[in-house]
Amino acid sequence: MTATAVPTITKDDLARTAAALRDFAVRTPLVESAELSRRFGAPVWVKCEHHQPIGAFKLRGAYTAISRLAPEVRARGIITHSSGNHGQAVAYVAKHFGVRAVIVMPETAPQVKVDGIRRHGAEIVFTTKKERERKAQELIDRDGLVMVAPYDNLDVIMGQGTCAFEILEDQPGVGTMIVPIGGGGMLAGTCAAVAAIKPSVAVWAVEPALSPKLSAALQAGHPVPFEPVDTLADGLVPPSTGKITFEYIRPVVRGAVTLTEDEIAAGVRFLFHSMGLRVEPSGATPVAALLAGKVVPNGPTACILTGGNVDPAVFARLVA
């Protein structure tokens, strides 16, 4: 399979992107976990992306991509497919620009994410996990809408990279970053930022054992399609790692580790009971990887907590 050529993302690119986000997204806090720092003998911070206005990091990429569209293109309306957080981000940004947004979602999407999208005024089209990309294309062909892909989009990746950019500004001594991987937007942005700013940082990816897409892609040398599965980490189960994201990830990432459902749940529980943080299972996977011994920190470590949009009943069960 031929590799997808991707442009280099520079520190200046990330600085300009971060500046453009300043009045729209939150520069989220990087908070030390006293318990994890004690356990590992080095500072361990968590990057609290669940503090974004839509409760997840996806706002960074969605705003960057949509704001860079020509006004006449943006006015045609935006469409995407999403299990929830990217859909909420697109809905939020589209409302800001006063344009139509259509979100194609799996019928099994968490209600808390469905409600969030509706709250921001977007239209929702439900389908199966397997059919969401085909359905989105059908609507593009019918209505002339503009796709803002959830991860395989250069501007989305650039936006997500501002998270690692902030981490390295706030704590230049970080030696390890741990990042969840679904389609790979956040991980690709992190890898691009590390390559541009501090290549010595060890970047580790974390994914559910039920859907080890990056592990398979790294072994095969290209993205590998997976059938949809049900997992606590509902934000980490797209059909495959993206083709564009994979090209940013492959040269930088040290490896991908997989977590069982019980290990993912333990991450949610730890963050709530030790730090009072309400983080969704997908977002808790970096800390879960540390707790499970799947990643051993190389000095000061940052865990990107990607979101906090978790169904209240599910959260109550996990932290009990």
Q: What is the pLDDT of residues 156-207, one digit of tens each?
A: 999 999 999 999 999 999 999 999 999 999 999 999 999 999 999 999 999 9
11-57+153-319 and 59-147: identical CATH topology: yes
The CA distance from 72 to 60, in Å, is 22
Cα–Cα distances (Å) from 158 to 86, 131, 163, 294, 301, in that order, read: 15, 27, 10, 28, 22
**Residue 198 in tokens:** 């501090």
Nearest to 139 by CA among 164, 105, 110: 105
Topology (CATH) of 59-147: Rossmann fold (3.40.50)
Name which of 131-135, 207-211, 218-222, 314-318 the model is least confident about: 131-135
Cite the DSSP H helix spans in 98-227: 111-119, 132-143, 154-170, 185-197, 213-220
User: Residue 2 has what pLDDT?
Assistant: 55
**pLDDT tens-digit profile of 7-20?**
999 999 999 999 99
CB 98 within 8 A of CB 121: no
Q: CA quadruple 210, 214, 215, 221: dihedral positive or negative?
A: positive
* Structural domain boundaries in the chain: 11-57+153-319, 59-147
**Residue 206 in tokens:** 């974390």
Q: CA quadruple 236, 230, 115, 83: dihedral positive or negative?
A: positive
The CA distance from 234 to 268, in Å, is 14
CATH no., domain 11-57+153-319: 3.40.50.1100
* pTM for this model (two decimals): 0.95
The CA distance from 127 to 104, in Å, is 7
Average pLDDT over residues 253-263: 98
CB 125 within 8 A of CB 135: yes
Question: Sorting pLDDT into bands at 50, 70 and 90, what band is 5?
Answer: confident
Residue 205: strand, helix, or coil = strand
Average pLDDT over residues 136-146: 95
The CA distance from 303 to 309, in Å, is 18
CB 113 within 8 A of CB 83: yes
Cα-Cα-Cα-Cα dihedral of 123, 128, 134, 135, to 10°? -30
Cα-Cα-Cα-Cα dihedral of 124, 129, 131, 133, to 10°? 70
User: Residue 68 has what pLDDT?
Assistant: 98
